[in-house]
Structure 1
Amino acid sequence: MQQGGYGGGGGGMLPQQQQQQQQQQPYMTVPPQQPTSADEVRTLWIGDLQYWMDENYLYTCFAHTGEVASVKVIRNKQTSQSEGYGFIEFTSRGGAERVLQSYNGTIMPNGGQNFRMNWATFSAGERRHDDSPDYSIFVGDLAADVTDYLLQETFRTRYSSVKGAKVVIDRLTGRTKGYGFVKFSDESEQIRAMTEMQGVLCSTRPMRVGPASNKNPTTQPKAPYQNPQGAQSENDPNNTTIFVGNLDPNVTDDHLRQVFGQYGELVHVKIPSAKRCGFVQFADRSCAEGALQALNGTLLGGQNVRLSWGRSPSNKQTQTDPNQWNGGGGYYGYGQGYENYGYAPPPPAGQDPNMYGSYPAGYANYQPPQQQQQMGYS
């Protein structure tokens, strides 16, 4: 069967030529309309897109059908780079079904790879004005080839309430950071998944699953505290230390170790004597990032913890201070008064919690940690 044809003789165009014709193509980038039943779904998901495959490219692949209503490539809101997938809405379900059956698995023009397509999924929770709670989990140790779609489908095959998934991408390298989040609309399925999916393979690696802050639309976010250490600690790629503020007095080192250990290997955990704060040092930066993003604002003991980056070992004034872990000389440069670091600074640009909102309008956004979530420990 002849491929999409590029709409009349365009099959030999290179990516640069496609971009030159972009202004001449009548493609639309409005988001897919929300169907009210499965029979009305006429939108296809398309994945494994290369960085240069934009709306114009996708439109020209299927323009000959005369049934393309809109095209949308999902882009990172920080870098504007393609996330590698998008949506194509057709004027009828039949048109979408014919394209899916004819093109899925065939070679993409000028792409050197096969079309990877499926029906777009729209759950009841995925509405433009979705005020229902989200129940999220953290997923770590992800293989480099895991995409949003693969992560979502790994869980969706077992839990019908999965609303979406997001693999966190490094805004500088464009590569995965090795962790992500999965959203549920059913709290009981979220709780089950944290146990049942622990160690289950996603692509080629077993997943590490842990709790994450949930979305509660009625709760107002806490005012951020501006950490005087500034961006120096946040942007230090060697810094793996998290400051934990506003600790419940009954929380112990072991409690912190149990909660934070779900996100990766720990080097050291310490709550200085008589201080309502603590420090958690990870062996790996990405694990620390995942824990900070997932646990900030969650309920530990009886209080919501406030997380921020601690000062890295490379930045502390005295590298060999024997008291750095017992509060005598301050930990990693935090001297007297570090108990006041009770609020976390705004997340760094590369850790924007709203990255989970990269879907087109109509897809629920991931929200910053707001709802109280009891972190279980015994």
Structure 2
Amino acid sequence: MDSNSSSDDKIESRLYIGNLDLRISEAALIKMFSPYGKIISEDFLWHTRGPKRGEPRGYAFIQFSTKEEAILAKEKMHGRMASGRPLVVRLASEKYPAEQPANSYKNAGEGHRSGLSSSGSGQTSRTAKIAAIKNKLRAMEEEGSNNSKKQKQSGGEAGSGD
């Protein structure tokens, strides 16, 4: 039971910091949040591939030593302007309001459907797309062969008329 409560505390003492201006550095972020408690760890996220590789992603996670420190930092820093942008600060265990309906028990059917669409539809969607493309090609081939027969027929008649 102690291990569960300590892992719960660890999760609840971790903050999500979003809407970060790309000019804010890891050091600046730590400096902004260190007055509210002892920071155990900080995860500053970077783009790892693509055209933005090596650039900040605009959000980070900070782990405080206690839940109380994290809550204090959240209360003091949420909405605070940093480089012209209001920070979004919440406990990492919290979800955005837009995410809550999909995860709530009231809308379990909707959440289940969206879960299916994200996990199973990748393959289903791909298979469906392939089938649709094959059908389209088949229809185009049939249409093309019908058109070429018509052209040959009309071309042959026109040729005989000359």
Quickly name the TM-score band, shorter chain normalised: 0.5 to 0.7
Check whether the contact 1:269–1:278 (CA below 8 A) recurs between aligned residues: yes
Per the alignment, residue 261 of structure 1 pairs with 96
From 47, 53, 63, give the equivalent of 1:170.
47
Distance change >3 Å, CA 268–CA 185, structure 1 → 2: closer
Corresponding residue of 2:31: 153
User: Matched residues in 2 for 1:189 and 1:201: separation?
Assistant: 20
Instruction: State the SS of the aligned residue for 1:278.
Output: helix
TM-score by length of 1: 0.25
Equivalent residue, structure 1, for 2:69: 189
| Greater helix content | 2
The answer as to whether partners of 1:152 and 1:164 remain within 8 angstroms in 2 is no
Q: Matches of residues 233-252 of structure 1 in structure 2 within 5 Å?
A: none
In structure 2, what is the Cα distance between the partners aligned to 1:159 and 1:201?
17
Q: CA contact under 8 A between 1:141 and 1:207: conserved in structure 2?
A: yes
Aligned length: 111
Q: Contact 2:37–2:70 (CA<8 Å) still a contact in 1?
A: no
Indicate the residue corresponding to 2:21 in structure 1.
143
Which ranges in structure 1 are unaligned for 5 or more consecutive residues?
A: 1-132, 214-258, 282-306, 318-378
Shift of 1:274: 8.2
Normalized against structure 2, the TM-score is what?
Answer: 0.52
Q: Secondary structure at the residue paired with 1:181?
A: strand
Letter of the structure 1 residue corresponding to residue 27 of structure 2: Y
Correspondences of 1:96-245 after superposition (within 5 Å): 134=10, 135-156=13-34, 158-172=35-49, 173-213=53-93
Residue type at the aligned position of 1:150: A
Note if contact 1:146-1:167 (Cα within 8 Å) is conserved in structure 2.
no
Q: Which of 111, 114, 119 is equivalent to 1:278?
A: 111
Deviation at 1:203, TM superposition (A): 2.9
Any idea what the Cα deviations from partners look like across 1:1-57, whole Å, max 9, x if unmatched?
xxxxxxxxxxxxxxxxxxxxxxxxxxxxxxxxxxxxxxxxxxxxxxxxxxxxxxxxx
Is residue 2:114 matched to residue 1:310?
no
Q: Match of 2:75, SS? A: helix
Q: Which blocks of at least 5 consecutive residues in structure 2 are unaligned? A: 1-8, 126-162
Q: Write the letter of the residue equivalent to 1:310.
A: S
Residue type at the aligned position of 1:176: P
Report the aligned-residue RMSD: 4.0
Which whole-Å CA distance do the structure 1 matches of 2:66 and 2:105 have between them?
A: 38
Q: Give identity over the alignment, percent.
A: 21
> What is the letter of the counterpart of residue 95 of structure 2?
F
8 A Cα contact 1:137 1:194, kept in partner:
yes
Measured in 1, the distance between the counterparts of 2:66 and 2:40 equals 10
* Counterpart residue number, 1:58: none
Structure showing greater radius of gyration is: 2
